[in-house]
């Protein structure tokens, strides 16, 4: 698994929010990332904490709501925006 960066975490969260990645796949990715522990040293703690939170999202008590994603993205230096488009 390549080095996990703030950008790669934000990309995974974005894919999840766009429904391009299932919650199960997101959690699997986070669990694998935690086991490998290969995080960008410049943002190690922020990335580790975000990955740890994502890794618990499949537990009913924790889940992963829109607000949770917003907070995680904010800590990573990103923000989420929503676009409403006609089909």
pLDDT, one tens digit per residue, over 58-67 is 988 888 999 9
Phi then psi for 39, rounded to 5 degrees? -105, 150
Rounded to 10°, the helix 44-55/23-36 angle is 140
Low-confidence ranges of the chain (pLDDT < 50): none
Rounded CA-CA distance 63/44 in Å is 23
Say if 84 falls within a structural domain. no
Say if 87 falls within a structural domain. no
Report how many domains make up the chain.
Answer: 1
> Model pTM greater than 0.85?
yes
Say if 28 falls within a structural domain. yes
Task: Determine the structural domain holding residue 64 and report its residue range.
Answer: 6-75
Rounded CA-CA distance 80/71 in Å is 10
Say if 64 falls within a structural domain. yes
Say if 81 falls within a structural domain. no
């Amino acid at each position: 698994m390549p080095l996990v960066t703030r950008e790669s975490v934000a990309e995974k969260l974005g894919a999840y929010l766009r429904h391009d990645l299932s919650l199960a796949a997101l959690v699997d990715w986070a669990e694998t990332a935690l086991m490998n522990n290969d995080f960008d040293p410049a943002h190690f703690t922020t990335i580790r904490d975000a990955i740890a939170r994502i890794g618990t999202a499949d537990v009913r008590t924790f889940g992963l709501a829109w607000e949770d994603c917003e907070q995680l993205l904010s800590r990573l230096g990103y923000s989420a925006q929503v676009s409403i488009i006609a089909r």
